[in-house]
Structure 1
Amino acid sequence: MDGRPNVVFDMGNVLMTFDGPYFARCFTDSDDDARLLHAALFGRPEWALLDAGAIGHDTMRRVAEAHLPLRLHAALHACLEHWPERSEPIIPVCDLVARLKRAGAGAYLLSNASTRIDLQLAGCPAYPLMDGRVVSGFERVMKPDPAIYLLLCGRYGLDPARCLFVDDNADNCRGAEVAGMRAHRFDGDAAALEDAVEAFLGAWGMGLR
């Protein structure tokens, strides 16, 4: 069992931006077309099934095509293939991961994401520092199911009581707490996150500062 304190990070809107309307606008020529593309792709309930590993990207493409005029199919294909390149690192959080590692704590990734997650993580400076990851699309179980948090702990020998989970979604934070972890909901306030991590590490005689 790993005796270190560990911080477990979500990816979307914690380590990397996820903004469906913005991504859709990158591949269309008007706000109206962007709204149509977003609704047909990121706004569909099937998007969650993609992250769950229940459907593949070809199925997601066909579903989205059925909800778009033919003139937007090329934009859809480009968006589905290349939106991860438009995701940007959230630098204060990525910097926090580096500081955690220097302090001797563990850092892990736990994300509801598809099997193409590595396309997005290619732009994440914190990812090479991570001690491990669990991704819903590969495991076919999703947050906030407590099973996915316990899967991470079992795979890497972590004690849930020594883990702080960071996510932008309140339900996912509650799932972590059910699994025995502490949790912090990240709302974009990097200073508040740093304070939460500092307090967590302090319980184990460690610190960032």
Structure 2
Amino acid sequence: MTAAIRCVLFDFDGVLADYDRDVRIGHLAHFLGRPSHAVRAAIYASGVEDAADAGLLDADAYLEALGRELDCTVPADAWVDARRAATHEKPPMLSLASKLRARGITVAMLSNNGLLMAQSWPAIVPALFPLFSGRAFCSAQLGAAKPSPAAYLRCLEALAMPPPATLFVDDNPANVAGARAAGLVGHCFAGITELQRALEEHGLA
């Protein structure tokens, strides 16, 4: 018999919020007085972002590493402002998550991100809090990133939730496959209508 779903674990970017990488890069480039291509390379081509997502760099070390790549100081507030400018919550998804919570379902969030993001959630997406307070996880906090099964299992350990009772929702098929390998129920997000249909199949809508 299939276990009853008691937890819905959401991805962040692309599921609970829209995220525009180009806006983030442009915003930070303008603040730092550096060309956008240099900021893009510093974040995504240097390995700095991947190291932060894996928990190998704390928030200060991450900003220092970006600064070395760009030959300037990268203030935390400038980074947060750029991330906030590029991130917009999806009100219908937040409404859905709120309804699940009101029904007694645990709602949580798992994102491949570094410790600076983990520290800055409420400043970047205040609309998600307090709904996800204490249940918003970044891969850096777990020492493993999606799609590694360890990322999901460590997250669920913190939530005291068994994998078969957890529905994981992500727009990246590889991440959904990783969740299923860890024993979770997976749903590849393609829009709220399909998600609502999946929730209905589990008696959650």
Q: Aligned with 1:128: secondary structure?
A: coil
Aligned residues: 196
Task: Give CA-to-partner distance per residue, 1:74-107, whole Å, 9 cap, x none.
Answer: 6x54643432322221222111101111233221
RMSD (Å), alpha carbons: 2.8
In structure 2, relative to structure 1, the CA distance for the partners of 1:142 and 1:27 (3 Å cut) is closer
CA change 1:126–1:120 in 2 (3 A) is closer
Change (3 A) 1:40 1:192: same
TM-score between the two structures when normalised by the length of structure 2: 0.80
4+ residue stretches of structure 1 with deviation over 6 A? none
1:108 correspondence with 2:108: yes
Match of 1:40 in 2: 42
Query: Does structure 2 retain, via aligned residues, the 8 Å contact 1:16–1:90?
Result: yes
Instruction: Find the counterpart in structure 2 of residue 96 from structure 1.
Output: 96
Tell me which residue corresponds to 1:8.
9
Deviates more, 1:35-44 or 1:101-110: 35-44
Q: 1:156 aligns with which of 154, 159, 165?
A: 159
Instruction: Give the conservation status (yes or no) of the 8 Å contact 1:166–1:186.
Output: yes
Change in CA separation of 1:57 and 1:151 when aligned onto 2, cut-off 3 Å: closer
Q: Structure 1 regions of 5+ residues with no counterpart?
A: none
**CA pair 124-199 structure 1, distance change in 2 beyond 3 A:** farther
Matching residue's letter, 1:52: A
Structure 1 residue 54 displacement after superposition: 0.3
Distance across 2 between alignment mates of 1:167 and 1:34: 29
Mapping 1:1-209, distance limit 5 Å: 5-29=6-30, 33-68=35-70, 73=72, 77=75, 79-86=78-85, 87-116=87-116, 117-122=118-123, 123-130=125-132, 132-187=135-190, 189-200=191-202, 202=203, 207-208=204-205
What letter corresponds to residue 120 of structure 1 in structure 2? W
Task: Using the TM superposition, name which of 85-94 and 115-124 deviates more.
Answer: 115-124
Contact 1:94 1:124 in 2 (8 A): no
Runs of 5+ consecutive residues of structure 2 not aligned to the other structure: none
Distance in 2, matches of 1:62 and 1:154, equals 32
Q: Tell me the amino acid that sits aligned with residue 161 of structure 2.
A: L
- After superposition, the Cα gap between the structure-2 partners of 1:42 and 1:146, relative to the gap in structure 1 and judged at 3 Å, is same
TM-superposed CA distance for 1:35, in Å, is 2.9
Please state whether the residue corresponding to 1:27 is helix, strand or coil.
helix
CA shift for structure 1 position 4: 5.4
| Maintained 8 Å contact 1:85/1:120 | no
- Letter paired with 1:108: A
Mapped to 1, the partners of 2:174 and 2:108 lie a distance apart of 19
TM-score, normalising length from structure 1? Answer: 0.78
- CA separation of 1:67/1:91 partners in 2, compared to 1, >3 Å: closer, same or farther? same
CA contact (8 A) 2:23 2:82 kept: no
Contact kept in structure 1, 2:142 and 2:155, CA below 8 Å: no
Distance 1:171 1:4, change over 3 A: closer
